[in-house]
């Protein structure tokens, strides 16, 4: 089979593109980091790739809100190119700031509803930047990226990661459709409060996919835990041979095999 090619979209302020590209390469893909200006000049560049990754960081310094500027660029200049990419059966992954971009652009959750966006990502309840490791529960039946995943331990690093649906009916609809694919967990099955839920997300939602399961956004950083030595307790006990996050990238590659 041909090698899977990953398009890692770079923008001013993005700072996780190298790690994301490396994670995909560890999973068996070939990753290319491309600046958004190149894509704006040649939207057809996407046609030669199978996966589009929007990495974490602070695109355009989050000057108008996290992910809002790059999200607006995609919405007004690249929307058709990304929709064509999706229609071809390809994959889109947004990590942290990339998740914010997918939501703000309307790529992840369709904004055609006259009531407005189905959900948004807003300021953490703590009122501060949260940089910590969290336990997560994944539901992989719907989403390509979480196939075979259940319990994950990954770091978060964000100030605007609180998932807020438009209303309870919208939350219930997303839940029943299997689109709430990743949630913060605490290991005992009880209510998930701060700091286990680091931002106060409604229903402890940490990641969402679209109705096809091929477009996904998540707040935690899987690219920061692909090797056991990245685990905060890696010197203090036995660990699996690889970090929990690598499975997410490997699932994307396997999808095309």
Query: Residue 156: which H helix or E strand, with range?
Result: strand 151-158
**pLDDT for res 113:** 72
Q: Any idea which residue has 């998932």 for tokens?
A: 163
Residue 229 burial by CB count (10 A; 0-12/13-18/19+): exposed, middle or buried?
Answer: exposed
Active site residues: 96, 221, 223
Quote the tokens at residue 253.
């590659």
- CATH number for 126: 3.40.50.880
Question: What does pTM read for this prediction?
Answer: 0.96
Domain that holds residue 30: 5-254
Give pLDDT tens digits along the chain (257 positions).
679 999 999 999 999 999 999 999 999 999 999 999 999 999 999 999 999 999 999 999 888 888 999 999 999 999 999 999 999 999 999 999 999 999 999 999 875 677 778 999 999 999 999 999 999 999 878 899 999 999 999 999 999 999 999 999 999 999 999 999 999 999 887 789 999 999 999 999 999 999 999 999 999 999 999 999 999 999 998 888 999 999 999 999 999 98
Number of domains within the chain: 1
């Amino acid at each position: 089979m041909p090698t899977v090619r990953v398009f890692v979209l770079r923008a001013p302020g993005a700072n996780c593109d190298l790690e994301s590209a490396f994670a995909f390469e560890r999973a068996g893909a070939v990753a290319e980091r491309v600046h958004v200006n190149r894509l704006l000049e040649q939207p057809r560049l996407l046609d030669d790739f199978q996966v589009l990754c929007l990495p974490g960081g602070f695109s355009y310094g989050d000057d108008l809100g996290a992910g809002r500027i790059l999200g607006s660029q995609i919405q007004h200049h690249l929307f058709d190119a990304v929709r064509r990419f999706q229609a071809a059966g390809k994959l889109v992954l947004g990590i942290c700031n990339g998740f914010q971009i997918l939501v703000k652009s309307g790529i992840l959750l369709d904004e055609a509803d006259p009531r407005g966006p189905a959900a948004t990502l807003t300021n953490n309840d703590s009122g501060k930047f949260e940089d910590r490791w969290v336990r997560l529960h994944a539901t992989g039946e719907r989403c390509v990226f979480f196939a075979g995943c259940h319990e994950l331990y990954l770091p978060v690093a964000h100030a605007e990661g609180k998932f807020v649906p438009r209303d309870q009916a919208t939350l219930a609809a997303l839940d029943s459709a299997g689109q709430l694919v990743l949630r913060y967990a605490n290991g005992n099955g009880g209510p998930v409060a701060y700091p286990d839920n680091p931002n106060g997300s409604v229903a402890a939602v940490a990641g969402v996919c679209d109705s096809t399961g091929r477009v996904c956004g998540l707040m935690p950083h899987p690219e920061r835990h692909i090797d056991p030595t990245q685990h905060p307790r890696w010197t203090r006990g036995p660990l699996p041979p690889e970090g929990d996050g690598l499975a997410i990238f490997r699932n994307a590659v396997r999808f095309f095999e």
